[in-house]
Amino acid sequence: MVDLLFFGIFALVAVLCAINVVVQTHPISSALSLVGVMASLAVLYLMLGGEFIAMAQIIVYAGAVMVLFVFVIMLLNAGVEVRRGRSWTATILGAPALLGLLGVLACLLARWFPSSPVIKFGDFNGGGPQQIGYALFTEYLLPFEVTSVLILIAILGAVVLARKELD
């Protein structure tokens, strides 16, 4: 029962922080909300028994990647977004359309997965460094390298964009 309570709390924190990432007008505030999402996900991984994945989530994503995001935001010198008026159709139909979509998704998930096994927290034992390292450098080597090249290209693109503004 306590596991379910903690799961609900951290899942709610993750969802609220994710909504805040999209709603915020200042990029630094969005990046800090993304750190909240990453930390909540790390706690959920920890509850499932993946201690290594949880620590990697904190160190790599909430630490290094978010520092990189903040560095790029500061380098680009992005200011506050300009507010525009909202359309009345989005204001009136937005919440009911969202609730309808969530209802349809819940019905589809209940139909597709009628008798899912119950997750027992702490029973997972395949998330150690040896299993992850073996899978990363054998089966997932190409996606790992492609991701690192894409991150390098994104950094270079941000530097080029910032340099053109200075000149």
Mean pLDDT to the nearest integer, 53-73:
82
Question: Measured between alpha carbons, how far is 17 from 61 in angstroms, rounded to an integer?
Answer: 15
pLDDT at 167 over 60: no
Most confident of 41-55, 86-100, 138-152: 138-152
Residues 61/38, Cβ–Cβ less than 8 Å:
yes
Question: Measured between alpha carbons, how far is 58 from 104 in angstroms, rounded to an integer?
Answer: 34
Task: Classify burial at 34, counting beta carbons within 10 Å of its beta carbon; exposed 0-12, middle 13-18, buried 19 or more.
Answer: buried
Question: Measured between alpha carbons, how far is 26 from 79 in angstroms, rounded to an integer?
Answer: 7
Residues 14/44, Cβ–Cβ less than 8 Å:
yes
pLDDT at 85 over 80: no
Distances (CA, A) of 42 to 15, 54, 66: 14, 4, 14
**pLDDT by residue (tens digit) across 7-40?**
889 999 999 999 999 988 878 888 889 889 999 9
pLDDT at 115 over 80: no
pTM, whole model, 2 decimals? 0.61
HEC-encoded secondary structure of 49-71: CCHHHHHHHHHHHHHHHHHHHHH
